[in-house]
């Protein structure tokens, strides 16, 4: 068969961002047998992508071409893998355009979080003067509310489009901070040479301005469908504003606010219409997000990969129904600093648990390693460094999921009908944690938090203050487990069942129609 259409996807280096893209690509190829798709991805994501493809027929997978970039790195080292993608993606895209065996791409779809793809696309295409320019489509890996928050129009409630001007008003010098400044400071923190006095001055002014504008005030944000929140609530974990990740955040935000305006349309797989339809409607009407149409393509449910590894399978099989606490904080988040209180509580109450390290066991604090090792030795826990999370959540022994509330983990827990004990740390996790609590899909913990919320109120939890003492944390954990074990837990499971039912219904109906339309759109 001759292929008539070709889409290119540019992905994020983060492990969690890529699986939904691969599932979307497979669905698009199922809907259009004359379509091929090329995916630019970091080498860290190659093996898992191939594993997701393996359960599909050759007639589909031979039309999904993966272009790995760089060498494998620790999954948590997303800063370096991000830079590798930024540097090397241009050459990969150039080779795609030079490949005469494939149709010229009609669409370049890019994860909106890596802000560099629009520039790479434009710069490479400038060397092909006769090329019919592929459409530039932004892929949102998060909830619609998160896109409104980060890149929505200044006219849409809840957008951060005002932030750059506010920082400018606070300290014009802070906007002169460069990527080289940040790299110099990070190298110094790792034992490298001391940054120049000019760099130190710019960093100092930037940190002061960032904190003043974002977290040292009571600015209230309101996004359609969500309860109002203070901006400082977004940083629930204690952070060092002089380090690369935090210094980068505003600079990266401003960059992809600019790039979002260049996109000719937005698509996403997160089921915002199920979570908060008002937020999706606001995104559809937003002058930036909705100018070329904001299309929800819907979530693609995955099945367990197969039997769990022998030790984990045996541990779960030996437990009573709804008795095991599953604990995981994903692949890029550090474990909460107060995880020790949860593990000590589980030990005291003799509650069996699984702690999945997301490939990060080596970087865990020593006191956590000791607690986990002792729990394994006593037969109270199973501590795999990596596991099939969907398979674990599907096991009947699982009582609840203690989670950072990343998008993938949240939806996987909902589809499995497992109540969530929400330990959000930052970013979109805070939105999802609040939604879980409000919709009675689980319980949002607040006393474990160590960031700018300590000693301050949380708007959607009136009358409650995060005091973050060990005593408050232990009491909150004990109450959460008691609730999940009892009648409240049964109500949560019923609510989860209803939400999962709605997702599956949409997948078979309106979302499949949206995928089919998107597969044929750019001909």
Specify the pLDDT at position 33: 95
Cβ distance 151 to 256 under 8 Å? yes
Helix axes 339-348, 470-485, angle to 10 degrees: 60
Please write the tens of the pLDDT for every residue from 473-513.
999 999 999 999 999 999 999 999 999 999 999 999 999 99
Please write the tens of the pLDDT for every residue from 323-346.
999 999 876 666 667 888 999 999
Query: In the structure, how many helices (H) and strands (E) does the chain have?
Result: 21, 15
Percent of the chain with pLDDT over 90: 75
Q: Which of 48, 13, 9, 55 is nearest to 28 (CA)?
A: 9
Specify the pLDDT at position 79: 75
The dihedral formed by the CA atoms of 284, 287, 291 and 297, expressed in degrees to the nearest 10? -30
Count of CA atoms in the C-beta half-sphere (13 A) of 203:
24
Specify the pLDDT at position 362: 73
Cβ distance 437 to 444 under 8 Å? yes
Specify the pLDDT at position 332: 64
Would you call 328 helix, strand, or coil by DSSP? strand
Please write the tens of the pLDDT for every residue from 400-450.
999 999 999 999 999 999 999 999 888 889 989 999 999 999 999 999 888
Cβ distance 208 to 215 under 8 Å? no
- Pairing state of beta strands 294-296 and 266-268? parallel
Percent of the chain with pLDDT over 70: 97
Please tell me the class of the 5-141 domain: alpha beta
Specify the pLDDT at position 77: 67
Q: Which of 443, 321, 322, 309 is nearest to 383 (CA)?
A: 309
495 is written with which tokens? 């609510």
pLDDT surpasses 90 at 322:
yes
- Mean pLDDT over 384-392 rounds to 91
Q: What gap in Å lies between CA 246 and CA 237, rounded to an integer?
A: 12
The dihedral formed by the CA atoms of 217, 218, 223 and 225, expressed in degrees to the nearest 10? 150
- Annotate 331-397 with DSSP letters as a single string: TTSPPPTTHHHHHHHHHHTT--EEEE-TT-GGGS-HHHHHHHHHHHHTTSEE--SS--HHHHHTSTT
Which secondary-structure segment (H or E) carries 169?
A: helix 163-170
pLDDT surpasses 90 at 295:
yes
Specify the pLDDT at position 232: 93
- Mean pLDDT over 299-321 rounds to 92
Q: Which of 366, 323, 294, 305 is nearest to 481 (CA)?
A: 323
pLDDT surpasses 80 at 127:
yes
Q: What gap in Å lies between CA 223 and CA 207, rounded to an integer?
A: 27
Q: What gap in Å lies between CA 329 and CA 348, rounded to an integer?
A: 22
Average pLDDT, the chain: 92
Residues 6+ apart with CB under 8 A from 378: none
Specify the pLDDT at position 523: 83
- Mean pLDDT over 150-165 rounds to 92
Position 457 confidence tier, pLDDT thresholds 50, 70, 90 = confident
Phi, psi (deg, nearest 5) at residue 440: 55, 45
Specify the pLDDT at position 80: 82
C-alpha dihedral sign at 436, 442, 447, 448? negative
Q: What gap in Å lies between CA 405 and CA 414, rounded to an integer?
A: 11
Per-domain boundaries in the chain: 5-141, 151-255, 310-501
Cβ distance 109 to 8 under 8 Å? yes
- Mean pLDDT over 147-167 rounds to 93
Please tell me the class of the 310-501 domain: alpha beta
Please write the tens of the pLDDT for every residue from 40-94.
999 999 999 999 999 999 999 999 999 999 988 766 567 788 889 999 999 999 9
Specify the pLDDT at position 334: 64
Residues 6+ apart with CB under 8 A from 57: none
| Radius of gyration in angstroms for the set of CA atoms belonging to the chain, rounded to a whole number | 23
Specify the pLDDT at position 284: 95
Cβ distance 32 to 61 under 8 Å? no
Count of CA atoms in the C-beta half-sphere (13 A) of 374:
13
Q: Is there a common fold for 5-141 and 310-501?
A: yes
Q: What gap in Å lies between CA 90 and CA 96, rounded to an integer?
A: 10
Instruction: Quickly count: other Cβ atoms within 10 Å of residue 101's Cβ.
Output: 6
Q: Which of 388, 331, 390 is nearest to 357 (CA)?
A: 331
Please write the tens of the pLDDT for every residue from 342-368.
999 999 999 999 999 766 677 788 888
Specify the pLDDT at position 74: 66
């Amino acid at each position: 068969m001759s292929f008539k259409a070709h889409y290119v996807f540019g992905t994020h280096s983060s492990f969690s961002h890529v699986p939904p893209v691969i599932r979307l690509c497979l669905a698009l190829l199922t809907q259009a047998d004359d379509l091929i798709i090329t995916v630019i991805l970091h080498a860290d994501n190659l093996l898992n992508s191939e594993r997701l493809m393996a359960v599909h027929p050759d007639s589909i997978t031979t039309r999904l071409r993966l272009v790995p970039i760089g060498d494998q790195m620790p999954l948590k080292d997303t800063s370096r893998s991000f830079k590798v993608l930024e540097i090397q993606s241009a050459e990969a895209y150039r080779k795609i355009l030079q490949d005469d065996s494939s149709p010229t791409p009609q669409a370049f779809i890019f994860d909106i979080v890596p802000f560099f793809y629009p520039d790479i696309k434009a710069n490479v295409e400038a060397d092909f003067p006769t090329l019919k320019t592929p459409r530039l489509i932004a892929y949102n890996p998060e909830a619609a509310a998160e896109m409104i928050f980060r890149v929505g129009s200044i006219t849409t409630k809840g957008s951060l489009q005002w932030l750059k001007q506010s920082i400018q008003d606070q300290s014009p010098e802070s906007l002169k901070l460069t990527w080289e400044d940040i790299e110099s400071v990070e190298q110094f923190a790792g034992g490298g040479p001391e940054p120049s006095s000019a760099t130190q001055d710019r960093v100092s002014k930037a940190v002061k301005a960032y904190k003043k504008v974002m977290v040292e005030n009571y600015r209230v944000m309101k996004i359609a469908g969500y309860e109002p929140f203070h901006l400082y609530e977004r940083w629930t974990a204690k952070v060092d504003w002089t380090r690369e990740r935090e210094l980068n955040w505003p600079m990266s935000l401003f960059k992809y606010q600019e790039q979002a305006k260049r996109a000719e349309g937005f698509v996403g797989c997160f089921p915002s219409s199920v979570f908060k339809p008002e937020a999706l409607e606001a995104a559809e009407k937003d002058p930036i997000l909705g100018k070329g149409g904001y299309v929800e393509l819907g979530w693609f449910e995955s099945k367990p990969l197969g039997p769990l590894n022998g030790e984990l399978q045996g541990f779960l099989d030996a437990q009573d129904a709804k008795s095991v606490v599953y604990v995981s904080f994903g692949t890029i988040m550090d474990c909460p600093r107060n995880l020790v209180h949860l593990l000590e509580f589980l030990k005291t109450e003799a509650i069996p648990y699984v702690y999945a390290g997301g490939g990060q066991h080596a970087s865990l604090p020593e006191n956590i390693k000791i607690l986990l090792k002792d729990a394994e030795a006593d037969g109270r826990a199973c501590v795999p460094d990596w596991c099939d999370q969907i398979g674990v959540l599907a096991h009947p022994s699982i009582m609840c999921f203690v989670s950072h509330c990343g998008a993938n983990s949240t939806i996987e827990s909902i589809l499995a009908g497992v109540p969530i004990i929400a330990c959000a740390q930052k970013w979109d996790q805070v939105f999802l944690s609040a939604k879980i609590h409000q919709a009675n899909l689980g319980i949002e913990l607040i006393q474990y938090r160590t960031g700018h919320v300590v000693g301050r109120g949380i708007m959607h939890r009136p009358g409650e203050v995060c005091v973050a003492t060990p005593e408050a944390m232990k009491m909150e954990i004990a109450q959460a487990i008691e609730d999940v074990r009892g009648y409240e837990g049964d109500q949560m499971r019923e609510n989860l069942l209803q939400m999962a039912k709605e997702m599956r219904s949409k997948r078979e109906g309106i979302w499949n129609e949206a995928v089919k339309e998107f597969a044929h759109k750019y001909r």
